Amino acid sequence: MADDVKRRASAHAGPTTTGAHASGGARDPFLLACRRVPTEYTPIWLMRQVGRYLPEYRAIRERLSLLDLCKTPEAAAEVTVLPVDRFKVDAAIIFADILLVAEPLGVGLEFAKGEGPVIQAPLRTPSDVERLPEVDPDEAVPFVFEAIRLARRALGGRVPLIGFAGAPFTLASYLIEGGPSQAFLRTKRVMHTEPRTWQALMEKLSRLAIRYLNGQIAAGAQAVQLFDSWVGCLSPADYRHNVLPYMRGVIAAIEGGVPVIHFGTNTAGLLELMREAGGDVIGLDWRVDLGQAWRRLGDGVAVQGNLDPAVLLADLEAIRRAARAVLASAGGRPGHIFNLGHGVLPGTPWQHVAGLVEMVREESRR
């Protein structure tokens, strides 16, 4: 399969193209929707649209671990393109993981079977934070940038390519907790009892996110998404004081004029603050009504979402009803990008993903 992506890349080879203004950009439905420009239909892509529900992906994972796949640009580019070939989604997102930049920080990273990511040397003291190096993504994760270049060529301008990074708070929580958490007690303790340590960590991770995202844009990403997956654990006051200034700084420093998608989960109580932090598109999870959330956010921003991923485990008629409800909540306003409220679940039948893409196109064209 890696040979296939090389073949397609060669077929589309030509002058090097980077950024949002390269071929396949300005009139694309996804990029138009990011800018709140009317489109023929509601564009759709799905978070985690490459995953174990796809038989082609499972075949690759039989011979490559997740980290090995991420670090093999030809394979990462190949799986990036899979959903475009199979489902005709309106955007591809580079295959990577938000914690790839944690490994060069010297904290150790592994993906334990059934447990998800594990940080082997989590941050426990102020000196742990002080010892974190300043990471140059060009040297630390060059395979991500090469995968973007290969994927752009293989896509051949059919759809835009999205790059992404973990937001500073979510990266900080992984580094402090040592992995996923329910209550984020260690993270909140640092935030409340060691403010200087928290500030130092967030500033360091913000600089890393800026360099990483701008490197992806230079390599060819035509939009970027910041995943703040765990920020919904915070109160509005904690978000305003301990997260918003750093997110605002990261988003303001993103170069190339590409659209920025700002996404979090469990963020119904934080939407206005997320809008204040910035982003051309605010990603919504399924725990909030899309239309009501958009009214709270105001007219000057697009929205992305927000079907419950569990709906894709139901039958096709139930999926159609739920998709119609999301589209009806958007009300046909320019600036809606259809997506799930989080990633595709592992047990999802791939036929249901195909059906959803067709349904959204069909229903939104009416």
Q: Phi-psi bin for 163: left (phi > 0), alpha (psi -120 to 50), beta?
A: beta
299 is in an annotated binding site: no
25 is in an annotated binding site: no
Tell me which H or E stretch contains 129. helix 126-130
Collapsed DSSP state (helix, strand, coil) of residue 147: helix
174 is in an annotated binding site: yes
48 is in an annotated binding site: yes
4, 41, 61, 207: the active-site residue? 61
304 is in an annotated binding site: no
Active site residue 90: no
28, 149, 152, 174: the active-site residue? 174
52, 240, 275, 296: the active-site residue? 52
331 is in an annotated binding site: no
97 is in an annotated binding site: yes
> Which is nearest to 46 in space by CA: 339, 281, 345?
339
User: Cis (ω within 30 of 0) for the bond into 242?
Assistant: no
> Which is nearest to 96 in space by CA: 184, 7, 224?
224
Active site residue 158: no
Active site residue 131: no
51 is in an annotated binding site: yes
Q: Amino acid letter at 289?
A: D
Output the CA torsion 288→294→297→299 (10° steps): 180
Active site residue 196: no
48, 186, 275, 287: the active-site residue? 48
90, 97, 228, 280: the active-site residue? 97
52 is in an annotated binding site: yes
Active site residue 61: yes
Beta strands in the chain (DSSP E): 92-93, 109-112, 116-119, 161-166, 223-228, 260-264, 281-283, 302-307, 336-340
Mark the binding-site residues, compressed into ranges.
48-52, 97, 174, 229, 342
Which residues are designated catalytic?
48, 52, 61, 97, 174
Mark the binding-site residues for substrate, compressed into ranges.
48-52, 97, 174, 229, 342
